[in-house]
Structure 1
Amino acid sequence: MERVPAWGTLPRMLRAQAAAHPGALVVDGAVRLTMQDLREQAAVAGRGLMALGVGPGDRVAIWGLNDASWVVHAFGIWDAGGVIVPLSARYKGFEAAEMITKTGAEVVVIGAGPGGAALGDLLPPLPGVRHVVGFDEVRQRGGGPRAAHEPGGVPAGAGVLDVEARALAVRPDDLCEIMSTSGTTGTPKGVMLDHAQVLRGYWDWAEIVSLGPDDRYPVIAPFNHGFGLNAGMIACVLRRAAMMPIGTFTPDGLMALVESGKVSILAGPPTLFYRLLDELDQRDRDVSSLRVAICGAAAVPATLITRLVERVGLERMINAYGLMEGTVVSMTRAGDPIEVIASSTGRVVPGIEVKIVDLEGEEVPAGERGEILQRGYGVMRGYWGEPEKTAEVVDSEGWLHTGDIGVLDELGNLSIVDRKKELYIVNGFNVSPAEVEALLLREGSLAQVAVVGVPDAVSGEAGCAFVVPRAGASVTAAGLVSWARANMAGYKIPKRVIVVDELPANPNGKTDKITLRRLAQNRGTG
């Protein structure tokens, strides 16, 4: 495998790519950017952020839908020596505020919201935040459209020197991102990753995928999601592929996207590819440009892979396993038989070790299930400001305890068979039951809430909330769902709410979620 070039940091990588390939198209959509465009506009954004007081290591939150401006300002944050804190555009105000406050971000950069929503209007006043600014204002402060002599303008000559010096001073072991991840505590944690590990992880990922300069790759996963940011946006710049930022994805537009956009790389859950095949069955469309499909799922039905190869003419279907705390762990490879891709997430990537251990922490033989432990360059630097929680998952020997249950076969293929944690996944998004419970309790009429994830034909899994009303309160499932839609990100909203008099308890006095999960499955989530 070709080693990652000795860039060391994202700012140096962008400068090297722009110098060697200035005309390479790297962003294609409503706005098109070459590598040189991105490098120049990121420097303008970096100057604007410096004018706002952003210094080396400062956290800068960015909140908005996938678009070219998001890409420019992400690289602008890195040019200014900052650490990006991506926020979901689906967040409501207090959800965004939680991560901003946790990381101590003093500058929040805001782009477009769903349906044209003005995201800045949703953010409550936060004592530590000095600036809440839109993309345009950042560029103006950086000497973009606004002349140097106008209010807020920056002398172009001095600004260029300042941002170049700042960008080149960034070190490989400096943090580049703090990503929000759900946990069983109900409070999102901030996963710290540095420049060197992100560059290496997604250079190797992109090489295994065979992502290259001729590819057109719609980034459907939001940029605030680890896959969208790292295996989407950054991977495209690393490999000079044309990313197509998708602000709001609709399954109805999938075929048009693939056909008219001449998409060659497509990533998503199995339901995405079933939808593509269903549309092909109804109408003959030209999808001959599509050559690689990437599906990060515990299992991919063999029939799906066969149909994609035969009907679409795919060169490869790739399955993979990763987690925010450990970046890329394992991937299937070219030449793997369908049964390996369907039943496993392939072998570990270079530089990563994996072992399977039992409840006592002892390694188990091949073919036996246990918790997946991972060690290597991809393991996070820790949870921001939470050394105790970091120590709970990364042991003294550097092993990350993933909380996922898996099996390694004799050839080293890793299969994911269960999750030790209670997290469930809705359309590719990790959802913490405890977080959803805490959010629902803010509604005010509930005494207790318990949320479980159950299988769902559309989203993979869905949330089912069992709620106990407070004394004298009148609670309806429809009313709670309506409140959730107004106050929670869409993927966190329970698909079903069941009002009960009390929650079942196990012998230890804790809520018996095994019983609740069984009840939810018996009653359905539709």
Structure 2
Amino acid sequence: MTTACPTGHNTTADLIEDAAQRYAAKTFIHDSGRNLSFETVFMQVQHLANALVARDFGSGDRAAIWAPNCAEWIIAALAIQYVGGTLVTVNTRYKAGEARDIIADSGSSVAFVVDEFLGSNYAQELENENIVGLEHIVALPAPNSLNETTYHRWIHEGERAPDTLCAQRDTQRLATGPNTVSDILFTSGTTGRAKGVVTTHGQNIHAFDVFSDILGLDETDHYLIINPFFHSFGYKAGWLAALLRGATVYPMAVFDVPAVLKAISTHRISVMPGPPTLFQSILMHPDRDAFDISSLKKATTGAATIPTQLIVAMRETLGIDTVITAYGLSETCGLVTMCRRGDAPDIIAKTSGRAIPEVEVGIMRHDGTLAPPDETGEIVVRGFNVMQCYFNNEQATSETIDKHGWLHTGDIGSLDCAGNIRITDRLKDMFISGGFNCYPAEIENQLLNHDEVAQAAVVGMPDERMGEVSAAFVVRTPKSQLLEADLIDWSRQNMANYKVPRRIIFTETLPLNASGKVLKTELRAML
């Protein structure tokens, strides 16, 4: 089935070409003091696309990006997709070993990797992993760096490409359509092994055309993107939505409240999505009144539950006219439901709104029947936004999408009579730390790589600033004298910061049920 966007744009190539004509010299990306117009971005996308084609990168080939939010991330993504390639996103919090798994599993032949970031040389660390099938590592400039990198050399090379190469690029671009795979976003799951979610150009553009309409995004907006581009919140609800509407984006590489307040004041930011913790941090910041943030008028956020008072404070204290909560997951292009402008604060805080047009949301009982309003069950979704499949994983796909086309989210919730969804629980064991989804099985598997860890069970532990953080119950190997501080330090070196346990509880045994599964309810009670 062909999935076309209602606006008539079928691919991101269509979007950037149209925007270059429609908005021309208007700034699309403001990054590190640079203003890149829509037409400049389009030219650089074509140049980088030439460099890819020159290396036999073609339709269906995959290229990964492992870098913080920056202009080069957007240009690389659009260039990959311009010639029919598939974008693979990699979490910037990952260590090199974690990034290696994603890049290897995806079969990426090219990786765009930041040169230096947060004290590490990402490009060099990835080079040291010697990933089979990865032919090119393209170093992207570090934030605020003026150093020339491989990325610049590829751009310059593509600018001088012969006509024959440009013709080949255009042939591949014209062969790209709404059903061409645009990206694979890897999502960790309860099994502990990340699965690649496959979606197409048409699906994503359709979904975020709707998102932009509901939010009221337009070409006058200045959009501060704090959410990371490797996630659908920063990529699809971020710069892709801005490209659809001609808005100017301001990527932020590292979250910092004073920097956010300064950016809003300096650049007259009007749109800023983010997790509830972002807005709570702004409201609590002692220097907030020193900045003029009156330009901020549109915001989206989301979580299982949000205090109603936070929504009221966002409107009344921060002066944000449009505050919308939403619900989505990678398997649905990142979008399922949204509140609407004008909804009451209690609806916005206690629910995640109603299904977007052409999407069905239901609550399914254990017997496979759909539940009536106000009955709790598993949230299921059906519509154009449902992923194509999990990459190279037919079994997981069939377990997630049933024969009737319902995608089983694993989230628990209920619908009210108006169709507003109330999420009562996330995945059974998943918890959210500072806006990042934490999957205990994934952290447990990583802890088991330590020579002195025999068993591990991870649960979420309440934290005032982050919402929840990781707590690990660990059974040591015989004769081990492993200390809490040593295991936490090892974790910092081997896993993303948001996964690192803040507390280690050593125990002789883990509580198990009759079938041998760890009783995490007991572990939570012990905390």
Q: Give the TM-score band, short-chain normalised.
A: over 0.9
Note the C-alpha offset of 1:164: 2.2
* Distance in 2 of aligned mates of 1:479 and 1:345: 41
Instruction: Name the structure 2 match of 1:64.
Output: 67
* Distance in 1 of aligned mates of 2:515 and 2:119: 48
Instruction: Name the structure 2 match of 1:238.
Output: 244
Note the C-alpha offset of 1:84: 0.5
* Distance in 2 of aligned mates of 1:356 and 1:313: 35
Instruction: Name the structure 1 match of 2:111.
Output: 108
Instruction: Name the structure 2 match of 1:290.
Output: 296
Instruction: Name the structure 2 match of 1:151.
Output: none
Question: What is the CA RMSD across the aligned residues, in angstroms?
Answer: 1.8
Q: Does 1:276 align with 2:282?
A: yes
Give deviations 1:377-431, integer Å, cap 9, x for gaps.
Answer: 0000010000100000100111000011111101111111112432221122212
Note the C-alpha offset of 1:284: 4.4
* Distance in 2 of aligned mates of 1:181 and 1:282: 35
1:281/1:67 CA distance change after superposition, 3 Å: closer
Instruction: Name the structure 2 match of 1:254.
Output: 260
CA contact (8 A) 1:64 1:113 kept: no
Instruction: Name the structure 2 match of 1:140.
Output: 153
User: What SS does the corresponding residue of 1:36 show, helix, strand or coil?
Assistant: helix
Letter in 2 for 1:129: L
Instruction: Name the structure 2 match of 1:192.
Output: 198
Note the C-alpha offset of 1:236: 1.0
1:91/1:505 CA distance change after superposition, 3 Å: same
Letter in 2 for 1:349: I
Instruction: Name the structure 2 match of 1:97.
Output: 100
Of 2, 6, 26, which aligns to 1:4?
A: 6
Of 427, 431, 435, which aligns to 1:424?
A: 431
Instruction: Name the structure 1 match of 2:327.
Output: 321
* Distance in 1 of aligned mates of 2:165 and 2:151: 13
1:174/1:147 CA distance change after superposition, 3 Å: closer
* Distance in 1 of aligned mates of 2:152 and 2:261: 35
CA contact (8 A) 1:66 1:222 kept: yes
User: What SS does the corresponding residue of 2:418 show, helix, strand or coil?
Assistant: coil
Instruction: Name the structure 2 match of 1:125.
Output: 130
Instruction: Name the structure 2 match of 1:341.
Output: 348
Instruction: Give unpaired runs (5+ residues) of structure 1.
Output: 149-153, 521-526
* Distance in 2 of aligned mates of 1:511 and 1:257: 46
Note the C-alpha offset of 1:360: 1.4
CA contact (8 A) 1:62 1:85 kept: yes
* Distance in 2 of aligned mates of 1:29 and 1:133: 20
Give deviations 1:326-351, integer Å, cap 9, x for gaps.
Answer: 13111000111111111101110001
User: What SS does the corresponding residue of 1:162 show, helix, strand or coil?
Assistant: helix
User: What SS does the corresponding residue of 2:250 show, helix, strand or coil?
Assistant: strand
Matches of residues 440-455 of structure 1 in structure 2 within 5 Å? Answer: 440-455=447-462
CA contact (8 A) 1:65 1:113 kept: no
Instruction: Name the structure 2 match of 1:305.
Output: 311
CA contact (8 A) 1:48 1:138 kept: no
CA contact (8 A) 1:90 1:114 kept: no
Of 153, 175, 180, which aligns to 1:174?
A: 180
Note the C-alpha offset of 1:50: 1.4
User: What SS does the corresponding residue of 2:366 show, helix, strand or coil?
Assistant: coil
CA contact (8 A) 2:225 2:251 kept: yes
Letter in 1 for 2:399: E
* Distance in 2 of aligned mates of 1:253 and 1:62: 25
Instruction: Give unpaired runs (5+ residues) of structure 2.
Output: 141-148
* Distance in 2 of aligned mates of 1:484 and 1:342: 35
Letter in 1 for 2:137: V
Q: Does 1:437 align with 2:439?
A: no
Give deviations 1:474-517, integer Å, cap 9, x for gaps.
Answer: 21111111111111111111222111121111122211111112
> Aligned pair count?
512
Letter in 2 for 1:243: V
Letter in 2 for 1:131: H
Identity value in percent: 36
User: What SS does the corresponding residue of 2:31 show, helix, strand or coil?
Assistant: coil
Question: What TM-score comes out, normalization by structure 2 length?
Answer: 0.94
Instruction: Name the structure 2 match of 1:207.
Output: 213
CA contact (8 A) 1:368 1:407 kept: yes
* Distance in 2 of aligned mates of 1:397 and 1:421: 24
Q: Does 1:375 align with 2:377?
A: no
Note the C-alpha offset of 1:139: 4.6
Letter in 2 for 1:67: C
Instruction: Name the structure 2 match of 1:364.
Output: 371
CA contact (8 A) 2:429 2:439 kept: yes
Letter in 1 for 2:454: A
Note the C-alpha offset of 1:161: 2.4
Note the C-alpha offset of 1:308: 2.1
* Distance in 2 of aligned mates of 1:146 and 1:168: 19
User: What SS does the corresponding residue of 1:115 show, helix, strand or coil?
Assistant: coil
